[in-house]
Amino acid sequence: MADATSSSTGARPGYFGEFGGRFVAETLVPALSELEQAYQDIVLGAEFQAEWRGLLEHYVGRPTPLTLAERLARSLDPDGKMIRNLWLKREDLCHTGAHKINNALGQVLLAKKLGKSRIIAETGAGQHGVATATACAMLGLPCEVYMGAVDVERQAPNVARMHMLGAKVIAVESGSRTLKDAMNEALRDWVTNVRTTHYCVGSAAGPHPYPLLVAELQRVIGDEARTQVLERAGRLPDAVVACVGGGSNAIGTFRGFQQDQEVALYGVEASGEGIPSGKHAATLTAGRVGVLHGSRTKVLSDDDGQILEAHSISAGLDYPGVGPEHAALQATGRAHYLAASDEEALAAAAELALSEGLIIALETAHAFARLGDIARIEFEHRKRPVDLLVTLSGRGDKDLATYTAHGLGQRPAGGGAA
């Protein structure tokens, strides 16, 4: 296994500070080099951008709206002293129900231009799997999706959607049978079939150039949000917030505001049953530097460097690593990362449903769980009420069984007719 992007002089291609790189089997180096060249020559080119953005507009439904959440703001801040405006970037209104389709359409379109005849993907919550299956069906390519057996059970609606879209879903029984293991199996498949197959990575993680490619395809979120909030409010938000697993919706949001130093960036990861319990997925909060899935980043590992199992009630955040750009943003202090527990995420989902009529994904709920704290931090720093913008990365249809199991989907006492 080699780090094919290291350089002894100057800035290292494929790195964000000390994080990133390409730690992969030699078999994959030519494919990753081809993808890196295609990123420069095709993805950033005017022809590809016009075709992809046309699909985003006429197929996905972009730009997604920016919603002012006044009732939620008052629920979090009853006196109206801390929060002036609370904006929601509505990625739940994308076709397939989450931000994942932005990246999947771009990668599958690119793979077709490169002459690849087969697409594979990994998925946790199932949203990236559904998005990839959707893109493959629309563009006429076969699709196979690796998914941890635990996630196959807890995300059954998305498994059914993938099947209906013609994708083959491969349940992974190894390890913790969650996202990490699905990614392991997808990488093994790619090593074997690298000449004909494109691996459509779902998050801003993995070996170079995937973190760069996914961030570029997801930055449409932040670019749109920046334009929209300036049009609606006449000013930038004081802080933008997004949930973080591997980190694609967050980095896509952050990219739109990264150069605006006055805008604070906050990511919220999953603390599961609590950091002290060891049953969490709070890589940036409690992890250490290591190598996972071809990239040097922050990981959950023991003293010997062995990767630990992650835990989160949300399948999409249940990952013991994070994209290298997030690790770099934390190291430089440009972005701040908090964590929310399973119970806090459930409570936040319930609050949003009742205050704004929005049933959100469990992943997204983690970002909302920390909004009160972020408002307080920014209010104390700026000494005035603040504007917050949070990316609502996905809708909660896929999580209804989990919500119901925790009492959120039960008929209220004294409620109306069923």
- Confidence class of residue 6 from pLDDT cuts 50, 70 and 90? very low
Cα four-point dihedral sign 39, 109, 204, 268: positive
pLDDT of residue 356: 98
Distances (CA, A) of 414 to 237, 371, 408, 411, 418: 41, 31, 15, 8, 11
393 is catalytic: yes
Q: Which of 42-56, 84-98, 171-185, 382-396 has the lowest mean pLDDT?
A: 171-185
Place of tokens 């349940």: 171
**How does pLDDT run across 186-230, given as a tens digit for each residue?**
999 999 999 999 999 999 999 999 999 999 999 999 999 999 999
Active-site residue among 36, 89, 91, 100?
Answer: 100
CB atoms near residue 63 (< 10 Å): 18
Active-site residue among 176, 248, 301, 393?
Answer: 393
pLDDT of residue 3: 52
Active-site residue among 91, 122, 216, 344?
Answer: 122
Domains, the chain, ordered by start: 15-57+99-211 (3.40.50.1100), 63-97+219-405 (3.40.50.1100)
**How does pLDDT run across 257-294, given as a tens digit for each residue?**
999 999 999 999 999 999 999 999 999 999 999 999 99
| SS3 labels along the chain | CEECCCCCCCCCCCEECCEECCEECHHHHHHHHHHHHHHHHHHCCHHHHHHHHHHHHHHHCCCCCEEECHHHHHHHCCCCCCEEEEEEEEHHHCCCCECHHHHHHHHHHHHHHCCCCEEEEEECCCHHHHHHHHHHHHHCCCEEEEEEHHHHHHCHHHHHHHHHCCCEEEEECCCCCCHHHHHHHHHHHHHHCCCCEEEECCCCCCCCCHHHHHHHHHHHHHHHHHHHHHHHHCCCCCEEEEECCCCHHHHHHHHCCCCCCCCEEEEEEEEECCHHHCCCECHHHHCEEEEECCEEEEECECCCCCECCCCCCCHHHCCCCCCHHHHHHHHHCCEEEEEEEHHHHHHHHHHHHHHHCCCECHHHHHHHHCHHHHHHHHHHHHCCCEEEEEEECEECHHHHHHHHHCCCCCCCCCCCCC
Tell me: pLDDT of 7 over 70: no
